């Protein structure tokens, strides 16, 4: 039977996303098929539909990998048809909120675990641990599986990790006789040395570092990683069990100084960093305009898609300062509580978890299944240095107010890079006070 996969862009809100900002498109989705319809279709011998929504539907090269997994699943399970609903990662939270309000949520969503607490509070996810054998669950890296839980409830399964670390041009380091930097100070100095005029026309052609200054969730996550490297977690529980932040500490100031020195003091970052979002950063790296960035190994895959000449030139290493850190950022799929096709969604989760090997080869993402580690080592040598990143994963706590806190961080990083906040000290103070106010409201 000919396979049909419908790709639709999901309805998004005009409001700013709680985890990020991006351009919105006014599009429509088909009505969700009810469970009674699915049951009737099964009895009639027809294929039942599984709806899967997320960024991998519309973002390259992940879309190609996902299409292969869907094809394999439909061949292995001819009783099901997978319908894909695309929404950019920056719009995902607002899209889910909109669809929840209209009772049109799909079966599955491609995401990380950042919204677990918020979605549980909304009542749109539930524990599905009982759907899987314990032996099956023990096959995942526990740190990755944990990211798909909240209060010991499992909402979905990880497929791979997209850890935020330090990406750098290893070929340029070797040409300049430089070692891999292992502190903020060393990164700043390395960025200065890699900021060069490559053709002798008196203008800088390649900068040492790219910073994502656009005020969205990508900005917030990357800067939060820097906060943890400086030993200044954005949210943690103090000795009394209350939520607190170390953003305003000397270590927190150090993280702001790291960005400030790169972009403003030294000019090692291209002009216009306040408008640099993820796609812009990838383009800067792919076109040889910058040499380093805080991002994930999947970015290497995106770079190579744009420019094959960059294949083998980038490596991913842990971000280091006072602490060695990575934001594990496992990506996978979560099933919504009122999934129209619950049985089909569970079957797809099981199949997908074991069949995303191509994602590692194409996008350099480490796999979530332990048994695939050797495959990852051979398929993506660029990321060998971070295959153990689960050991130094930051404690990025899942809380219902995470989106509100992330917006504060992103907006103030943007303001400092724009010059409206004049110093790292001022940026740390303003950010800490605003974040603490959010924490106090939830203590």
Q: Which pLDDT tens digit goes with each residue over 113-138?
A: 888 999 999 999 999 999 999 999 99
pLDDT at 45: 64
User: pLDDT per residue over 134-164, tens digit each?
Assistant: 999 999 999 899 999 999 999 999 999 888 9
Lowest-confidence segment of 16-20, 45-49, 238-242, 295-299 by average pLDDT: 16-20
* Banded model confidence at residue 257, pLDDT cuts 50, 70, 90: very high
Two structure tokens written together for 306: 């744009």
Helix, coil or strand: residue 315: strand
Determine the Cα–Cα distance for residues 49 and 220; give it in Å rounded to an integer.
36
User: pLDDT per residue over 172-197, tens digit each?
Assistant: 999 999 999 999 999 999 999 999 99
- Is the separation of the CB atoms in 217 and 90 below 8 Å? yes
**pLDDT at residue 399 is higher than 70:** yes
**pLDDT at residue 372 is higher than 50:** yes
pLDDT at 57: 96
Bond from prior residue into 173 cis (ω within 30 degrees of 0):
no
Which has the closest alpha carbon to 428: 234, 231, 215, 156? 234
- Is the separation of the CB atoms in 33 and 55 below 8 Å? no
pLDDT at 43: 55
pTM for the model: 0.74
Cα angle vertex 431, ends 430, 433, to 5°? 65
pLDDT at 302: 87
**pLDDT at residue 231 is higher than 50:** yes
pLDDT at 78: 97
**pLDDT at residue 225 is higher than 80:** yes
Identify the sign of the CA torsion 92, 255, 279, 313: negative
**pLDDT at residue 365 is higher than 70:** yes
The structure tokens 């806190």 sit at 405
The DSSP string of 241-303 is: S-EE--TTSHHHHHHHHHHHIIIIIS--S-S-GGG--HHHHHHHHHTTSBSEEEE-HHHHHHH
Two structure tokens written together for 438: 């959010």
Radius of gyration of the chain (CA): 22
Mean pLDDT of the chain: 89
Determine the Cα–Cα distance for residues 113 and 104; give it in Å rounded to an integer.
21
**Percent of the chain whose pLDDT exceeds 90:** 72
Cα angle vertex 395, ends 134, 439, to 5°? 120
Domains and CATH numbers, the chain: 46-159+329-390 (3.40.190.10), 163-326+394-439 (3.40.190.10)
């Amino acid at each position: 039977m000919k396979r049909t996969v419908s790709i639709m862009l999901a309805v998004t809100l005009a409001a700013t996303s709680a985890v990020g900002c991006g351009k919105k498109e006014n599009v429509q989705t088909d009505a969700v098929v009810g469970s009674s319809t699915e049951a009737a279709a099964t009895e009639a011998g027809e294929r039942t539909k599984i709806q899967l929504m997320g960024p991998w539907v519309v973002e390259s090269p992940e879309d190609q990998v996902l299409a292969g997994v869907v094809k394999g699943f439909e061949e292995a399970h001819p009783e099901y048809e997978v319908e894909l609903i695309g929404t950019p990662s920056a719009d995902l939270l607002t899209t889910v909120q909109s669809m929840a309000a209209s009772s049109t949520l799909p079966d599955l969503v491609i995401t990380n675990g950042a919204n677990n607490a918020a979605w549980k509070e909304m009542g749109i996810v539930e524990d599905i641990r009982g759907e899987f054998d314990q032996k099956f669950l023990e096959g995942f890296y526990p740190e990755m599986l944990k990211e798909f839980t909240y209060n010991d409830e499992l909402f979905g399964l990880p497929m791979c990790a997209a850890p935020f670390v330090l990406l750098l041009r290893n070929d340029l380091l070797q040409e300049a006789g430089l070692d891999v930097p292992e502190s903020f100070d060393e990164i700043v100095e390395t960025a200065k040395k890699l900021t060069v005029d490559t053709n002798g026309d008196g203008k800088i052609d390649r900068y040492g570092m790219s910073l994502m200054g656009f005020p969205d969730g990508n900005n917030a996550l990357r800067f939060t990683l820097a906060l943890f490297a400086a030993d200044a977690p954005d949210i943690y529980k103090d000795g009394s069990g209350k939520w607190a932040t170390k953003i305003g500490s000397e270590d927190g100031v150090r993280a702001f100084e790291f960005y400030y020195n790169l972009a403003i003091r030294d000019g090692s970052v291209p002009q216009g960093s306040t408008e640099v979002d993820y796609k812009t950063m990838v383009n800067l790296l792919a076109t040889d305009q910058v040499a380093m960035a805080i991002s994930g190994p999947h970015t290497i895959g995106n770079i190579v898609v744009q420019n094959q000449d960059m294949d083998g030139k980038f490596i991913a290493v842990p971000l280091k300062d006072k602490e060695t850190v990575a934001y594990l950022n496992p990506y996978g799929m979560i099933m919504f509580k009122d999934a129209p096709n619950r049985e089909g969604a569970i079957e797809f989760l099981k199949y997908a978890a074991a069949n995303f090997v191509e994602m590692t080869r194409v996008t350099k993402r480490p796999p979530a299944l332990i048994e695939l580690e050797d495959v990852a080592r051979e398929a993506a040598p660029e990321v060998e240095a971070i295959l153990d990143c689960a050991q130094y994963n930051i404690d990025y706590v899942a809380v219902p107010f995470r989106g509100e806190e992330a917006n504060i961080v992103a907006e103030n990083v943007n303001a400092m890079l724009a010059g409206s906040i004049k110093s790292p000290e001022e940026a740390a103070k303003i950010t800490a006070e605003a974040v603490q106010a959010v924490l106090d409201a939830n203590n």
